[in-house]
């Protein structure tokens, strides 16, 4: 065992890298270098319909062109479906997983009906309504009917049971949220997400499940990623506890914004590394544009209880 710090950059090869990705990669590389550690690359390609080898090659080329190197081996999620499947089975054996059939439209209609009657319906930190969970207590026979019907379904975490099984005091170490960028311990509130998706009928994993498995498998000590994933950390800590996985430290950095004030995404075509390179910019120009780009403010941590 060494005390070497292990960082990772984990893009999804379903589009081109943009300046926001470059920021994440640079921060990870810099922190790895400063600590004498390593930075691993992970291709988050569980969505096989949208991820392609061509995008994967382009990501590697863009990083090389920017001068951002990584340490080997590269991990490709699509090569580890068996590991995710066995983690899912473990959670299922604990009685924490149920097959769920409602589509987005059915969820929306259900929630609208409740709200039309004056009822309150909880939303997750991304603003999406919690899953109604009507199938949570279905019998084995009822579950079999759904999973053998040929209709698409999701496998969801029974959040209330999962939180109860995990026991109390679920927290994480976050760098940069305290005064002067100090490390603080934040209380995790996974219940704010409701019954999250762990897998789908056609994919034996989800973002949440694979990210905790991969971080453990790659022995990541420090997760440095965008603020948009800040609240997801609560779900990750819960899964780590349930699956006996080690707990990394976290740092969620500001997001780069486009001229429209929205977080950079694929829709900001001219902010992709490829487009900037093709427009004749040098790697230095692109890194300067990254430093100068407008950024989101700090994560709203007021609602996250700071532990003593
Ligand atoms: N694949 C995710 C993304 O491209 C990053 C996931 C993570 O860093 O946990 O936004």
Tell me the pLDDT tens digit for each residue of 187-238.
Answer: 999 999 999 999 999 999 999 999 999 999 999 999 999 999 999 999 999 9
Beta bridge partners of 99: 155
> With a 6 A CB cut-off, is 12 part of the ligand 1 pocket?
yes
> What is the C-alpha separation between 210 and 297, in angstroms, rounded?
29
Percent of all residues in the chain with a pLDDT value above 90, rounded to a whole number: 90
**CA of residue 92 to ligand 1 center, whole Å:** 25
Residue 290 belongs to some domain of the structure: yes
pLDDT greater than 80 at residue 141 = yes
| pLDDT for position 305 | 47
**CA of residue 177 to ligand 1 center, whole Å:** 20
pLDDT greater than 60 at residue 308 = no
> What is the C-alpha separation between 203 and 84, in angstroms, rounded?
10
- Which CATH number covers residue 277? 3.40.50.620
Q: What is the pTM of this model?
A: 0.94
Name the nearest CA neighbour of 162 among 225, 91, 214. 91
Percent of all residues in the chain with a pLDDT value above 70, rounded to a whole number: 95
Residue 40 belongs to some domain of the structure: yes
Q: Which ligand 1 atom is at minimum distance from the Cα of 11?
A: 4
Q: Which residues of 161-181 are buried (b: 16+ CB within 10 A; e: fewer)?
A: bbbeebeeebbbebbbbeeee
Helices 19-35 and 283-292: crossing angle in degrees, nearest 10, is: 100
User: Ligand 1 test: best mutation among 9, 12, 51, 227, most atoms within 8 Å of CB?
Assistant: 12
Tell me the pLDDT tens digit for each residue of 144-192.
Answer: 999 999 999 999 999 999 999 999 899 999 998 666 778 899 999 999 9
**Is there a contact between 19 and 264 (Cβ–Cβ < 8 Å)?**
yes
| pLDDT for position 179 | 67
**CA of residue 38 to ligand 1 center, whole Å:** 18
> With a 6 A CB cut-off, is 229 part of the ligand 1 pocket?
yes
| pLDDT for position 122 | 98
**CA of residue 18 to ligand 1 center, whole Å:** 13
**Is there a contact between 228 and 262 (Cβ–Cβ < 8 Å)?**
no
- Greater pLDDT, 44 or 178: 44
Residue 47 belongs to some domain of the structure: yes
Q: What is the mean pLDDT of the chain?
A: 94
Residue 307 belongs to some domain of the structure: no
**CA of residue 46 to ligand 1 center, whole Å:** 12
Q: Which domain holds residue 77?
A: 6-296
Residue 305 belongs to some domain of the structure: no
Name the nearest CA neighbour of 191 among 125, 290, 136, 254. 125
When pLDDT is cut at 50, 70 and 90, the band that residue 121 belongs to is very high
Q: Which ligand 1 atom is at minimum distance from the Cα of 9?
A: 8
Residue 15 belongs to some domain of the structure: yes
Tell me the pLDDT tens digit for each residue of 245-292.
Answer: 999 999 999 999 999 999 999 899 889 999 999 999 999 999 999 999
> What is the C-alpha separation between 153 and 91, in angstroms, rounded?
17
Region 53-75: what's the mean pLDDT?
A: 98
What is the count of structural domains for the chain?
1
How many CB atoms within 10 Å of residue 287?
Answer: 18
> With a 6 A CB cut-off, is 45 part of the ligand 1 pocket?
no
Region 7-18: what's the mean pLDDT?
A: 97
**Omega cis (within 30) before 269:** no
**CA of residue 24 to ligand 1 center, whole Å:** 10
Which string of DSSP letters, residue by residue, matches 44-81?
----TTT--HHHHHHHHHHHHHHT---EEEEEEGGG-H
Match 């305290």 to its residue by tokens. Answer: 178
Residue 308 belongs to some domain of the structure: no
Residue 1 belongs to some domain of the structure: no
């Amino acid at each position: 065992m060494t005390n070497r710090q292990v960082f990772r950059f984990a893009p999804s090869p379903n589009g081109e890298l943009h300046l926001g990705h470059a920021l994440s990669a640079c921060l990870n590389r810099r922190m790895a270098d400063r600590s004498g550690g390593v930075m691993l690359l992970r291709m988050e390609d569980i969505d096989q319909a949208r991820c392609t080898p061509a995008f994967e090659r382009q990501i590697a080329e863009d990083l090389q062109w920017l001068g951002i190197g990584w340490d080997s081996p590269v991990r490709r999620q699509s090569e580890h479906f068996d590991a995710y499947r066995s983690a899912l089975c473990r959670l299922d054996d604990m009685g924490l997983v149920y097959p769920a059939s409602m589509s987005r439209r059915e969820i929306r209609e259900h929630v609208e009906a409740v709200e039309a009657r004056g009822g309150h319906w909880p939303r997750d930190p991304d603003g999406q309504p919690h899953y109604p969970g009507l199938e949570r207590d279905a019998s084995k026979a009822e579950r079999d009917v759904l999973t053998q019907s040929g209709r698409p379904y999701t496998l969801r975490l029974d959040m209330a049971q999962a939180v109860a099984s995990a026991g109390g005091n679920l927290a994480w170490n976050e760098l940069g949220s305290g005064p002067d960028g100090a490390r603080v311990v934040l209380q995790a509130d996974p219940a704010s997400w409701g019954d999250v998706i762990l897998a789908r009928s056609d994919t034996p994993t989800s973002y949440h499940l694979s990210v905790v498995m991969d971080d453990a498998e790659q022995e990541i000590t420090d997760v440095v990623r965008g603020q948009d994933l800040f609240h997801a950390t609560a779900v990750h800590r819960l899964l780590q506890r349930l699956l006996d996985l080690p707990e990394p430290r976290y740092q969620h950095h500001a997001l780069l914004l486009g001229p429209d004030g929205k977080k950079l995404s694929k829709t900001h075509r001219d902010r992709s590394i490829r487009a900037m390179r093709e427009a004749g910019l040098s790697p230095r120009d692109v890194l300067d544009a990254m430093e100068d780009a407008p950024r989101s403010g700090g994560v709203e941590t007021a609602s996250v209880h700071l532990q003593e």
